[in-house]
């Protein structure tokens, strides 16, 4: 909750700075991109990033976020005022865009129902704590997945399942874990959950067990189970832990079988992580082709 209030405060501060910049540079409401909206219609602003904040300047308009990257907007029919325009402000993870919404009569002609937020309408922002957007993280996760795993850093076996950590990468404030599982049994594995926990290396009966669970910012795939192979890339905010602890990756199966496989990662592996280099457009296209060719194989 504290993080949410902090982010909201940072957004409001950035929006205030943006408004002052607009006034200083002579940007007025009349200069904003115009979107026409009839009384009984709905328009959708589609963002390339998850939307963090929306402001609607007029009370006769109502909006919501049906999904994380879409703003839905329409008039309140009981308070419609055809003469009043509104300014809609949309802040993504790394941009801010503003539009002027103008009332259009029902017979005013063709109306766009879906508005793509394009770079020409954006002003780049730099929010502390948001160094890469979800779209960018997913793109780099695809780059990692497209690399053929030639080795493994750590592995463990249990119940006919082999878990392997293929690689660890870093990029700015993020850590990418490339994980794989192979099912040597004849029973398909139905995933219950995959948890990442920092635990003590040695646990004695007299000691108090301290376990810290960390949550990934992104998982490249959302998979319910696998028959033979499973590979995924998980992205975390940069984390550290002392040498007397381990990062435990615990894969558990749905009941009734309930097979659990734990993979232990020492901090040395994290410190020795390779750095992801920015990918050119041509290389990324090659990665996407390789990625699509590998998906069916590793998720079999």
For 111-125, how does the pLDDT look when each residue is reduced to its tens digit (9 = 90+)? 788 999 988 888 877
Residue in the block written with tokens 């589609």? 46
Report which of residues 5 and 120 the model is more confident about. 120
Residue in the block written with tokens 């008039």? 75
pLDDT on residue 209? 59
Report which of residues 155 and 3 the model is more confident about. 155
Structural domains in the chain? 24-124 (2.60.40), 134-298 (2.60.40)
What's the mean pLDDT in 262-273?
89
> Within its chain, how far is the Cα of 271 from the centroid?
24
> Within its chain, how far is the Cα of 202 from the centroid?
35
Residue 275 structure tokens:
């750095």
What's the mean pLDDT in 172-181?
91
What's the mean pLDDT in 226-238?
93
The model's pTM is 0.59
Beta-bridge mates of residue 46: 70, 116
What's the mean pLDDT in 219-234?
93
What is the rounded CA–CA span in Å between residue 57 and residue 55? 6
For residue range 28-53, what is the model confidence (pLDDT) as tens digits? 777 899 998 888 889 999 998 889 88
pLDDT at residue 199 above 60? yes
Residue from 236, 145, 141, 245 nearest 201 by CA: 245
Residue from 101, 119, 123, 128 nearest 41 by CA: 101
């Amino acid at each position: 909750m504290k993080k949410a209030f902090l982010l909201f405060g940072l957004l409001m501060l950035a929006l205030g700075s943006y408004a002052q910049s607009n006034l200083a540079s002579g940007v007025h409401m009349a200069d904003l991109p115009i979107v026409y909206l009839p009384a009984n219609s709905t328009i959708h602003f589609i963002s390339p990033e998850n939307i963090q904040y929306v402001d609607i300047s007029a009370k006769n308009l109502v909006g919501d976020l049906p999904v994380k990257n879409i703003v839905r907007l329409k008039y309140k029919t009981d308070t419609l005022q055809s003469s009043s325009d509104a300014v809609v402000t949309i802040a993504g993870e790394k941009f801010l865009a503003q539009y002027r919404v103008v009332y259009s009569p029902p017979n005013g002609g063709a109306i766009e129902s879906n508005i793509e937020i394009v770079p020409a309408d954006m002003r780049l922002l730099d929010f502390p704590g948001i160094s890469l957007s979800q779209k960018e993280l997913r793109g780099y996760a695809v780059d990692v997945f497209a690399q053929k795993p030639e080795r493994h850093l750590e592995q463990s076996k249990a119940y006919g399942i082999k878990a392997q950590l293929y690689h660890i990468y870093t990029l700015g404030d993020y850590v990418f874990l490339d994980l794989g599982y192979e099912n040597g049994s004849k029973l398909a594995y139905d995933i219950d959950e995959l948890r990442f926990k920092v635990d003590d290396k040695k646990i004695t009966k007299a000691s108090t067990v301290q376990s810290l669970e960390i949550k990934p910012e992104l998982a490249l795939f959302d998979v319910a189970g696998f028959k033979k192979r499973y590979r995924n890339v998980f992205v975390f905010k940069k984390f550290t832990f002392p040498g007397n602890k381990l990062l435990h990756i615990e894969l558990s199966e749905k009941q009734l079988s309930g097979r659990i496989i734990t993979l232990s990662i020492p901090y040395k592996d994290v410190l020795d992580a390779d750095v992801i280099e920015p990918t050119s457009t041509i290389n990324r296209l090659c990665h996407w082709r390789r990625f699509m060719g590998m998906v069916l194989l590793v998720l079999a």
